[in-house]
Amino acid sequence: MLEGVALGRGINFGNALEAAAEGEAGFRLERRYFEMVKAVGFDTVRLPVRWSLHTASEPPYEIEPAFLERVDWAIAAALGAGLKPVVNWHFYPELCEGVAGHQRRFLAVWQTLAERFAPLPADVHLELLNEPYSMTPESWNALVARALAVVRQSDAARGVIIGPLDWNNIGSLDVLDIPSDDHVLVTVHYYEPMEFTHQGAHWVSDRDLPEGTRWDVEHGGPAVARDLDKASEWARRRGVPLFIGEFGVYEKAQMGDRAAWTECVRAEAERRGASWAYWDFGTDFGAYDCRSDSWRAPLRDALLGTQGA
């Protein structure tokens, strides 16, 4: 575990609780997965949750009880395995594209969740919104302040994670206002260069990202270092811990290059004292192959070294 870092080394259980229905995207949570990631050396598991698919559209904005219980189960499974769970709000395009029409719902859900999770151990962290976009800096900063205030009404010391606009882009940190709070962390996501990390990804429709793009640390490593320098210096100046909540390479890239990039980002993050969570555990970026029920050793070792062997 990284000394002095709140969350240490983590992994995302992506494409489960943020899917329209768990399992629809090819991955369903199992208790053994929590135990496995702890056994190889991870400290944290990030749980992406698409609350907007399970919340009524009218006041009092009730969350589906069965879905809430499933999230409760996932948090308990993480804690039972000795992991620190990060529970986020993953995907809310309606909010990002129309703040005025959705902020009441957003804040009401966070009030419900903060009250529900207040009795839980401090190892549980809440992330207000994954990859906000479209909003103006003024709108996002105001919404962050309101959401944090809602959480603090029932939970004064819970770790709360906040990220910048443009899909948690490092370049947008300078327009992010972090409220004064001793229990806030800042998160960024890192997938640069996109031409490499997202090559062949069918959902990136606005860019031509053909397969076959290569990456090596000699030529690409300096750019990673410069980018993470920007993020860590911003966090240092503001006195907040830095959490790289997502980084990873899509499965279409060559495995050797995927592992080299992953190891480089991980090492540069740790060199700057940042905690991190790899994207993802068991789907198309996965460090684990659910079909063969085994770790992809190059990615596991890039993340954990001999600790994960």
Residue-wise pLDDT tens digits, 86-116: 999 999 999 999 999 999 999 999 999 999 9
Which amino acid, residue 271? R
Report if residue 3 sits inside a domain. no
Query: What pLDDT score was predicted for residue 1?
Result: 36
Report if residue 135 sits inside a domain. yes
Q: Please check whether residue 75 is in contact with residue 47, taking contact to mean a CB–CB distance below 8 angstroms.
A: yes
Q: Please check whether residue 261 is in contact with residue 299, taking contact to mean a CB–CB distance below 8 angstroms.
A: no
Q: What is the DSSP-derived secondary structure letter of residue 170?
A: G
| Separation between Cα atoms, residue 147 and residue 129, nearest integer Å | 10
Percent of the chain with pLDDT over 90: 93
Query: What pLDDT score was predicted for residue 239?
Result: 96
Tokens of 78: 């993480």
Report if residue 21 sits inside a domain. yes
Q: Which residues contact 114 (CB under 8 A, 6 or more apart)?
A: 126, 150, 151, 153, 154, 155, 158
Domain containing residue 179: CATH number: 3.20.20.80
Query: What pLDDT score was predicted for residue 204?
Result: 83
Which amino acid, residue 42? F
Query: What pLDDT score was predicted for residue 3?
Result: 43
Q: Interior CA angle at 244 toward 28 and 126, to 5°?
A: 60
| Separation between Cα atoms, residue 43 and residue 78, nearest integer Å | 10
Which amino acid, residue 163? G
| Separation between Cα atoms, residue 165 and residue 137, nearest integer Å | 7
Report if residue 150 sits inside a domain. yes
Residue 89: domain span: 9-308
Report if residue 4 sits inside a domain. no
Give the H or E element holding residue 246.
strand 242-247
Report if residue 56 sits inside a domain. yes
Whole-prediction pTM: 0.96
Burial of 178 (0-12, 13-18, 19+ CB in 10 A): buried
Dihedral sign, Cα of residue 11, residue 15, residue 21, residue 26: negative
When the pLDDT of each residue in the chain is averaged and rounded to a whole number, the result is: 95
Tokens of 166: 């443009």
Give the H or E element holding residue 266.
helix 255-271
The list of the chain residues with pLDDT below 50 reads 1-4, 309
Query: What pLDDT score was predicted for residue 5?
Result: 63
Query: What pLDDT score was predicted for residue 15?
Result: 97
| Separation between Cα atoms, residue 230 and residue 236, nearest integer Å | 10
Q: What domain count does the chain have? A: 1
Report if residue 234 sits inside a domain. yes
Mind listing the pLDDT tens digit for each residue in 178-214?
999 999 999 999 999 999 999 999 888 667 788 999 9
Report if residue 200 sits inside a domain. yes
Query: What pLDDT score was predicted for residue 306?
Result: 61
